[in-house]
Homo-oligomer: A and B are copies of this chain.
Amino acid sequence: MLDEVLKTVDGRRQQAVTALSEFLAIPSVSTRPEHAPDMFRCATWLADQLGKADMEAQVLPTAGHPIVLAKNRHQPGRPTVLLYGHYDVQPPEPLEQWISPPFEPHVRKTEAGTDAIYARGAADDKGQVWCHAEAILAWQSHGGLPVNLTVLIEGEEEIGSDHLQSFISEHRQSLRADIAVISDTNQFARGVPAITYGLRGLAYAQIILTGPSHDLHSGLFGGAVPNPANVLCQIIASLHDSSGRVNIEGFYDDVLELTPHERQMWQRLPFDEQQFARSVGIPHGSGERGYSTLERKWARPTCDVNGLTAGYQGPGAKTIIPSRASAKLSMRLVPNQDPDRIMKLFERTIRGRCPDNVKLELNWFGASEPVLVPVDSPPMQLAAEALRIGFGCEPTFMREGGSIPVVGMIKRLLGIDTLLVGFGLPDDRVHSPNEKFDLDALHAGSRTAAALYDRLSRLTDSAPHGPGAAQ
């Protein structure tokens, strides 16, 4: 049966582009209040499309933007899959840098010579969501999906998914599933499909130091009072040792070390360190000693300054001892680091290194858990088979350095793992002007999704259903 479904997917290549173009033409910019009607229009459009595939689709309100929730006719004894995606997009600015307008999708050649559709949201995440819509449509032409599918497409991913947690909590019963699927990640490279089996977590802090109660004349006071900007630099500098390791006691206690197998696997990936450095304008990378660039990005924790603010920042000179200095600073965490524990260690360290005549204020701007799904688990192996069918070549198992908080949220609230089967490419320019999605990715992604539902239908009922199912 899958062969027939794939033939249908193959036959709809042009229709898929046309449908995706309609989706992309709706300017669903979640951060802009003036786009609220577009958000609703986009959710409604998507629900309509899923309805045409014989799903029961609803547009459900939240305190923010609505969520699209759709289900096929669930049948007992079949595995249940939860598909997550988002229909909101980043703002398109700067507009003058777009070759074609961000909400008027255009197909043209990429720098690599492939064909791609250019529009805001093309890869992140409308194009990837549409791969699944194509798969659902194709299965529908052949009697329907072989799994119970619940589709949850939110409209606030680009602005922090503020209302998703309460939505999932409230709809826990309705969302129970055996496995989650998200297509919002990348292929390793063009023609090298990938399953992302690990993500880093995050703990994001703001440090505010106050020395004198007001800015002081650096001539009249300099040298005799604590300068919070100098102190901030000392504290931040103390957070790394000379080998590039994070210098917080206990920080590495729970870090899951890379296995020799993983290191070998990653060494074999087609990754060029020099090309990597060139692409970001540096002569060579740097970081924790003893690790390769991929290892540093995917499997080692970090402590990076995201922003610094103190004193006078205008042109020319101003001779002041600033009263305040602050830093935004985030740690990327790796399996099995616990964000809560790391936040405690961080705070203890910072407080311990702050002189007693400087006031320290510490704010946390969110945390998310690292993710690691065992490569040899049955769902993973089934997803690998799907990619093999969809792309016609062997998939790579990779990790990603960024964080996808919803994965931790699904694990925590529904008790299930997530398969990250993504179709984007590293050169898709997500969040930037001229975002695109290769038409090959759209097609191979649709095939992969179709095959994935076939393979996941083989998941036995003995798979863990987690706390969500137990209630």
Contact = CB atoms under 8 A, between A and B. Distances in A.
Contact of A400 (B218, B219, B223, B320): B219
A214 B282 CA distance: 10
A411 to B, nearest CB: 18
Interface stretch (A17-25, A54-62, A234-242, A441-449): A234-242
A126 interface: no
Contact of A302 (B222, B325, B330): B222
A223 B332 contact: yes
Interface in A232-251: 232-234, 236-238, 240
Q: Which of A305, A332, A366 has the most CB of B within 10 A?
A: A305
Contact of A280 (B216, B281, B365): B216
Contacts of A303: 230
A392 interface: no
A204 B276 CA distance: 37
Contacts of A233: 232-234, 236-237, 305, 308
A286 B219 contact: no
A141 interface: no
Contacts of A356: 283
B304 A321 contact: yes
B219 A403 contact: yes
A319 interface: yes
A211 B286 CA distance: 11
A357 interface: yes
Nearest to A323: B281
A282 B320 contact: no
Contacts of A211: 282
Given A282-B212, A284-B357, A285-B357, A232 B328 contact: no
A226 interface: yes
A471 interface: no
A218 B237 CA distance: 18
A285 B224 contact: yes
Interface in A291-309: 293, 296-297, 300-309
A38 interface: no
A311 interface: yes
Copies in the complex: 2
Given A236-B233, A282-B212, A304 B366 contact: no
A307 B311 contact: yes
Contacts of A220: 297, 400-402
Contacts of A227: 304-305
Interface residues of A, number: 77
Nearest to A201: B219
A232 to B, nearest CB: 7
Contacts of A258: none
Contacts of A379: none
B216 A200 contact: no
Given A287-B223, A401-B221, A306 B296 contact: no
A322 B442 CA distance: 33
A226 B280 CA distance: 11
Contacts of A213: 280-282
A313 interface: yes
A202 interface: yes
B282 A225 contact: yes
B402 A217 contact: yes
A282 B316 contact: no
8 contacts: A216-B280, A219-B400, A223-B300, A223-B302, A224-B276, A225-B285, A225-B286, A237-B237
Given A225-B282, A233-B233, 5 more contacts: A200-B219, A213-B281, A225-B285, A283-B356, A312-B328
Interface of A: 200, 202, 204, 211-214, 216-227, 229-230, 232-234, 236-238, 240, 276-277, 280-288, 293, 296-297, 300-313, 316-322, 325, 327-328, 330, 332, 355-357, 365-366, 400-403
Which 9 pairs from chain A and chain B are nearest by CB?
Answer: A213-B281, A219-B402, A237-B237, A229-B305, A307-B311, A233-B236, A223-B302, A317-B365, A308-B310
